[in-house]
Amino acid sequence: MAISLSAATQKLIEDRMKERGARSADDVVQAAIHALDEPGAAKPDEEVWAAIELAEEQYQRGEVVPLDEGFEQVRRKHFGS
């Protein structure tokens, strides 16, 4: 199977090979795939997908706020500051 990667992805793989002493790019890709399957790996659940869909619908309706304001809303809601 031939796989085409962007230059940025190729560099990431090469950097990880050097950092971890991997013998090949295949070793790095296999480790990444196994990491995705580990318990506790970040995987969106149904609640996250529902929130993403709601946000997309709000965006499509033009219900948007400037990025800085959105970050401030998140800070207040989750960090109380």
Judge contact between 42 and 34, C-beta under 8 A: no
Q: 31: which residues sit within 8 A by CB, 6+ positions away?
A: 20, 22
The rounded radius of gyration (Å) of the Cα atoms in the chain is: 19
The string of pLDDT tens digits covering residues 21-57 is: 889 999 999 998 888 888 777 777 888 889 889 988 9
Tell me the mean pLDDT in the region 8-26.
Answer: 90
Judge contact between 39 and 45, C-beta under 8 A: no
